[in-house]
Amino acid sequence: MRVIVTGGAGFIGSALVRHLVLEQGYEVLNVDALTYAGNLASLAAVEGRPNYRFLRANICDRGAMESAVADFRPDRIMHLAAESHVDRSITGSADFIETNVIGTFTLLETARSYWSDLDAAAKQAFRFLHVSTDEVYGSLGAEGLFTEDTPYDPSSPYSASKASSDHLAKAWQRTYGLPVVVSNCSNNYGPYHFPEKLIPLTILNALAGERLPVYGKGENVRDWLYVEDHARALDLIAERGRVGETYNVGGRNERRNIDVVRRICSVLDEITPANRPREELIDFVTDRPGHDARYAIDATKLETELGWRARENFDTGIEKTVRWYLDNDWWWRPLRDRYTGERLGLLNPAKG
């Protein structure tokens, strides 16, 4: 099995590459532009393996994509490369439109021209997995879950750009017959997560005794999935998902942001006690504009049709994650030194 993974130096992409190279023994070509979010240190475990290769290239570069595909001759393309941080999309949306929309279009066109020249058997077996987010569905009230039939209603420049790319992927399947499958996943957490996102930021600030910013009142609800459960789901969807279908991926682990932050504090207080409870570091800050109230995934289709189950619940996953950050400062310290922690995504930063 020969797989191109785009965005394989990112948080989820690197978990997927480690899974495909180490657990499955597949031949993997990781195509990544190494933006601020890409980090080859997350791939130390696969570096030097004969079944792993890396290509630094931008998915918007049609020539580079065509020669990557022509040289590597993939059976699958698993497309994760994206601009992924909502706050950054509010401060500057251009990169999101460029990579998420134009980049996905470029990759779909590249895949289509490669796929249309394959022989009948290879054509039948080829898959293009487009990896997306539950944020395309917009925001839920207190009740209900996102299903694969929930209408798209994105709120942020990030989720709107992802929604656009999902529509392109679906259209390339319907119009040209390209064997596309789409997955929409809830919030991920786990090892190798860039320190600007809520969970790693909270762990590292709490460890350093620094304030723990929580947006608004911390009442926004997210449905958390351990990243390695997501990587296994993506592999399964690419293997057995039906062409033209969407599969929602989620861990049935809804938590309010404030409860996530409190849980991290209590796990850290247990493992490595400080002078005072770390909860005292919590600092409520100006909310994100257009902040979706609640996301929650109904993963029944993935569970019943493909037999996937999350292995971690939030309590087991968060403890593993905290311990990973405690044991792996070689990975996060250089990022913390470079990343200023400046608040992004405010319409009027002066008042932030």
Ligand X SMILES: NC(=O)c1ccc[n+]([C@@H]2O[C@H](COP(=O)([O-])OP(=O)(O)OC[C@H]3O[C@@H](n4cnc5c(N)ncnc54)[C@H](O)[C@@H]3O)[C@@H](O)[C@H]2O)c1
Catalytically annotated residues:
134-135, 158
Whether residue 166 contacts residue 132, with contact meaning beta carbons closer than 8 Å, is answered with yes
Using rule CB under 6 A, residue 34 touches ligand X: yes
Using rule CB under 6 A, residue 191 touches ligand X: no
Closest CA to 182 of 73, 301, 34: 301
Give the residue with the Cβ less far from ligand X, 263 or 278. Answer: 263
Helices (H) then strands (E): counts for the chain: 13, 13
Using rule CB under 6 A, residue 33 touches ligand X: yes
Whether residue 28 contacts residue 49, with contact meaning beta carbons closer than 8 Å, is answered with no
Using rule CB under 6 A, residue 180 touches ligand X: no
Give the residue with the Cβ less far from ligand X, 238 or 281. Answer: 238
Residues 139-168 that bind ligand X (CB under 6 A): 162
Give the residue with the Cβ less far from ligand X, 160 or 281. Answer: 160
Using rule CB under 6 A, residue 317 touches ligand X: no
Task: Sketch the per residue contact string, 96 through 135, with ligand X: x for CB under 6 A, - otherwise.
Answer: ---x---x---------------------------xxx--
Task: Sketch the per residue contact string, 71 through 100, with ligand X: x for CB under 6 A, - otherwise.
Answer: ---------xxxxx--------------x-
β-strand pairing of 221-223 with 254-256? antiparallel
Burial of 264 (0-12, 13-18, 19+ CB in 10 A): buried
Q: How far is CA 301 from the centre of its chain?
A: 20
Q: Which residue is nearest to ligand X (CB)?
A: 10
**Smallest separation (angstroms) from ligand X to the CB of 79:** 7
How many other CB atoms are found less than 10 A from the CB of residue 293? 14
List phi, psi (to 5°) of 21: -75, -45
Residues binding ligand X: number (CB under 6 A): 31
Whether residue 213 contacts residue 274, with contact meaning beta carbons closer than 8 Å, is answered with no
d(CA 25, CA 28): 9
List phi, psi (to 5°) of 103: -60, -45
Give the residue with the Cβ less far from ligand X, 80 or 281. Answer: 80
Q: Which residues bind ligand X (CB under 6 A)?
A: 6-7, 9-13, 32-35, 37-38, 58-60, 80-84, 99, 103, 131-133, 162, 185, 187-188, 194
